[in-house]
Structures are given as C-alpha cells and as structure tokens.
Amino acid sequence: MTVTIRPWWKDSVVYQIYPASYLDTNGDGVGDIPGITSSLDYIQSIGVDVIWVCPMYDSPQIDMGYDISDYKAVYPPYGTIQDMQKLIAETHRRGMRIILDLVVNHTSHQHQWFQESRSSKDNPKRDWYIWKPAKYDAQGHRKPPNNWRSNFGGSTWTWDELTQEYYLHLFCPEQPDLNWDNLETRKAIYEDAMIYWLDMGVDGFRVDTVNMYSKDPSFPDAPITDPNAEEQDAGLVYCNGPKMKEILSEMNAILSRYDAFTVGECPNTPDISTVVDYVGASAKRLNMVFQFEVVDLGQGKVFKYKSKPFNFQLPELKEAIDMTQSFLTHTDGWTTSFVENHDQARSVSRFGDDSPRWRERSAKMLALLFGSLSGTLFIYQGQEIGMINMPKEWSIDEYKDVDSINYYRMVDRCSKNDAMELAEAQASLQHYARDHARTPMQWSTGFNGGFTADDTPPWMRVNTSTEYINVQDQLKRKDSPLAFWRRVLSMRKQYNESFVHGNFELLDASNPNVFSFVKRRGNRVAVVVCNCSGSENKLPYFNGLDNSKIVLGNVDKPAVTTLQPWEGRAYVLSY
C-alpha cells in the first residue's frame, strides 16, 4: 500500500479569530490576546488544527488593525509581545499551529517609514511609498494622477501639502501603499513583518491583498464603468502587476526556510492561469489563495453595497463553487473552502435562513456543504454556533466599519439626504456589511454575551441574538450547530480522501433549490445533497444512492425520496 505524504496544511482546518471581538479578559470592552489563549481548549474541541489571528500589531485602528504602525509591536489594548509569545507556546503545546495576518501592501500613515517618506522629497525613504506629481486640466485645476477609486470610496490618491505630490492608497488615505519596486523596502518588510514573527514561532501567514503589491508603472486610467463618478473601479488594473511572480518567489524563499504556510487574499483574478502561477506546487510561491466568487455573490457590480438582499440564484452559487473546486482537477495547485471571514456578513443570513424556524437547520446545512468541499477549510469565529447578522431594527449608528460609514455618507451626499435611498442603503448594509462579522463573540446569554462584563460597554454592541445563540447553550445540546460542526470535521478527517482531496463533480447544475455533488478520488465516492430552500424538494437521483448509508445529515428522520427544507446529507458510496 502506498502512503501519500502530504504537506501538513492540506488536511488542516483553520479557525479565524478577530482579536477585538473574541474575548475580553481585562474588562476594557475590547477583546485581547489572553482571551484567545484562554479559549484554546474550546477551539481545539471543535476539531480545529490551526488558528489564524487577525492583525494584533500596533495600529491607529482606522481599519481595525489593517493599518499597521509597527510590525514588531502589539496594539496595547490587545496585550503585549509576552502575551503573543504565550499564545504561540500554548497553541503549540496542544499540537495546533498559529498563523498571523501579513499586511504589507500598505502601512499606517503613522508608521515611521511613512513619516520619514513624507518629510521631504530628499528623504532616503521617499521612494519607499508611491508618490506622483499632480495632473492639471485645461482650466489649471489640480487633479490626481489617475481615476482609480479606493476600495473604501473616493480617490486612491491624497495630496500632500508639504511636498506637493500625491501618494497612493488603494484603501484609506491613512493606509499609504508601499513601493514594492524598491528592493530596500522589500528587505525591510521581510525583516520586520515576516522574519521577526517566524523566528518567534508562528507557522505562517494569511497574506492580505497579496496580488496588489506590483502596480503597472504607467498607472493607467481604469475603464469607465460608472459614468456619473470621477473615480472608477480599478481592481482589474492594479491587481496582478508585472512583478508579482518575482515578488512572491522572493517571499517564498524566506518562508520555505521555516516550512511556513501561506494563504493569499486574491481578489480581481478571474484568469485561472494567473492563480496557478501563484499557487501551483511547481511555482513555489503561495500554498493557496482565497478567491471571492462565492462570497461576492449578490453584491453590486459598481459599489458592492448597491444591491438588494439575496440578489443571486442557487445556480450562480453552484457555478462559483465549481470554479474554485475544479481548480484541483486540472492543476498542481491547492484551494480553499470558506464562506465567512472578517470582511463578510454572516453566512446563515446571506445563504441560509436566519428566521427562528430554520436558523439552526440552515446553519448545519451550510456547515455540511462547505465542510465537504476539497481544499483547506477555514471557519470564522461564531460560524460554528451559527451567528447571524445584526438586527434590522438597529440604527445606522451601530455600524462601525469604515467601509459601511463611507458608503452611507456617499449615498447621503449623492442623494441629498433622500430618505428612501438612505433606507435602501441601510437595508443593503444590513445584509452585506462587514460589521456583522465583527460583533463580539457570543459566549453566553449575559447582557454582553459573556464577551465582557455586563457592566462594561463593549467596543461594539453585542448582537441581541446572544440570548438564543451562544456557546454556553450549544455546549449542552447534542443537536446544536456547534455539535454538528464537530461531526462535520470528524467526518472530514475520517473520509479525508473524498472530502478534502476528492475531485468535485457538480450534479444537476440548473436545479434552483437543490445543490448536489459527487466527491471522487480513485474508487472512493461520496455524494452530498443540500436543499438550499425553505420548501420540500425531491431527492436527486444518483446511481447507488439507494443502498448507501448517510454518514451525516441534519434531520432526525430523513425521507426516502424527498428532502426537508434546508436538509443536508452526506453519503459515502465506497471508501
């Protein structure tokens, strides 16, 4: 019998943690690193192998830590370097691994590098960031170097009065982009942001905005997709620039010395050959990437929030999953399975049914669906208990994310405070906003959900659903989403050749209510069937299904020929 030796990260399940919202242990209303450390036994009990800690570096927190002012320091409300050392040690003591966010497309405007860069045009670090002179129209009015729109709205260029030039920021003005064409800059990034933490014992990185480092040196205008706006969506222009492969190979040369794991955030990359260039085993650049076809479903094409809730059909979800799964069949690359992260609304509210009747069953169905897909599985904090979006009744003031605030202000400004347009904007945010992932973790039924003391104001309001969706309750119940997630991960490990490494074959692609697929590897065959609707549907036919056992399902008494609303089943035909 041939034993296949695979990299450790292929069969791993990764649990993502957002430090501010996980668990507060010192009573200041903000989650902290000791809160993560104290929860490691709980996390491991789910069946998780790796924790991914979102940015805990020192930061002004304009974008919740994705604006870093010091890569070698910890944001004081989260803790200290010593707290991080303890977290790393305790994670390893349990046989688990830990990865951090690597955020190096940009820094904070308060980072010492940028402070020096903007101090004068003659400063040695001037070229560490991207500076450009102004353009002028026929009337002599100053204009930015091009028409790119920031990911958070407005121009990607901000004017600097002192040095009389614009600097580039693909995100907030407080997040200036580093110049990756500068070798000296790259060396400093590698030393401070990577080697420092690898030497401390971290096992790898989730690499933020990994395909944005290299820009087209001509900085061309983006195509006009919104004729009413000065700035245009430029994602396809500034992503996947000419030096991306060179840069990633250079980074990998360092990472491989530590056997470090990398998963890159790779938006705006519809060309599969480009993805293969990044994650193919023979390319030796990244281990895998996140692609966003699934989580982008329903969002607006010009502005992601300019859309309506549930603005997609099930065949579109099937197509998106098929695209990322078929990647394994035709290449030497690896893929990921995820439906939640810190930038996405809650999956039960987006892809399931968060009403009291179907909330738990649809949460379990989604767990079975995404837990049966090939690649490395990622779970976001609270997903394991089926957390849902903030209530519709909450006011816009409860939305704290810079992206949400900027969008609502833009609609307010452009509509001249039109009540109907503002109501539509809030309805869209209630469905899609990043804020929903950032409400504090729901540990108990307490006023603040056990996240912090009941008499302590949390940094963000705890979702009132903590009364009936919380860890404490679900630990007691064998039929809870948490218990079901444990069973999903156990099934995934027991039948890993099918569910982790199997080839994905979509069945009945046009069925508007039922999602069914085969997972096949050699003579091992599994079939997954999910009713993604609130109505009863016919069980699809597949040869051999009648005589096969259901290894996992989310209803007590499955019918022979029909699926109950939001029912999911996994069959193993041969193994």
DSSP for 207-233 reads ETTGGGSS--TT-PPPP-S-TT-SSB-
Residue pLDDT, tens place only, 232-267: 999 999 999 999 999 999 999 999 999 999 999 999
Evaluate if residue 59 carries a pLDDT over 60: yes
- pLDDT value for 574: 86
Residue pLDDT, tens place only, 113-158: 999 999 999 999 999 999 999 999 999 999 999 999 999 999 999 9
Average pLDDT over residues 493-507: 97
Q: Are 471 and 443 in contact (CB under 8 A)?
A: yes
Taking each helix axis from N to C end, the angle separating 402-414 and 419-432, rounded to the nearest 10 degrees, works out to 160
Q: Are 49 and 40 in contact (CB under 8 A)?
A: no
Q: Are 254 and 199 in contact (CB under 8 A)?
A: no
pLDDT band per the 50, 70, 90 thresholds, residue 364: very high
Counting every residue, how long is the chain?
575
- pLDDT value for 3: 61
Cα separation of 542 and 507, whole Å? Answer: 9
DSSP state of 569: E
- In the predicted model, what is the mean pLDDT of the chain? 97
pLDDT band per the 50, 70, 90 thresholds, residue 104: very high
Average pLDDT over residues 77-93: 99
- pLDDT value for 330: 81
Average pLDDT over residues 420-442: 98
Average pLDDT over residues 95-119: 99
Residue pLDDT, tens place only, 159-171: 999 999 999 999 9
pLDDT band per the 50, 70, 90 thresholds, residue 575: confident
> What string of H, E and C letters represents the secondary structure of 33-63?
HHHHHCCHHHHHHHCCCEEEECCCEECCCCC
- At 345, list the tokens: 């609304």
- At 248, list the tokens: 């990633």
Average pLDDT over residues 74-101: 99
Cα separation of 568 and 517, whole Å? Answer: 12
Residue pLDDT, tens place only, 293-334: 999 999 998 889 999 999 999 999 999 999 999 888 888 999
The residues that are catalytic are 208, 265
- pLDDT value for 327: 84
Sheet architecture: strand order including 549-553: 503-507, 514-521, 524-531, 568-574, 549-553
Evaluate if residue 2 carries a pLDDT over 60: no
Please identify which residue in the block is written with the tokens 């590098």. Answer: 113
Evaluate if residue 1 carries a pLDDT over 60: no
Evaluate if residue 268 carries a pLDDT over 80: yes
pLDDT band per the 50, 70, 90 thresholds, residue 435: very high
pTM: 0.97
Domains of the chain (ranges, CATH numbers)? 13-107+183-483 (3.20.20.80), 112-168 (3.90.400.10), 502-574 (2.60.40.1180)
Lowest average pLDDT, out of 306-310, 340-344, 383-387, goes to 306-310
pLDDT band per the 50, 70, 90 thresholds, residue 213: very high
pLDDT band per the 50, 70, 90 thresholds, residue 424: very high
- At 64, list the tokens: 């919740």
Rg of the chain (C-alpha set): 24
Cα separation of 574 and 524, whole Å? Answer: 5
- pLDDT value for 158: 99
Closest C-alpha among 309, 270, 564 to residue 424 = 309
- At 470, list the tokens: 């919380």
- pLDDT value for 329: 86
Residue pLDDT, tens place only, 171-187: 999 999 999 999 999 99
Q: Are 441 and 474 in contact (CB under 8 A)?
A: no
Which residue spans within 140-265 are E strands per DSSP? 142-143, 157-160, 165-168, 204-207, 261-265
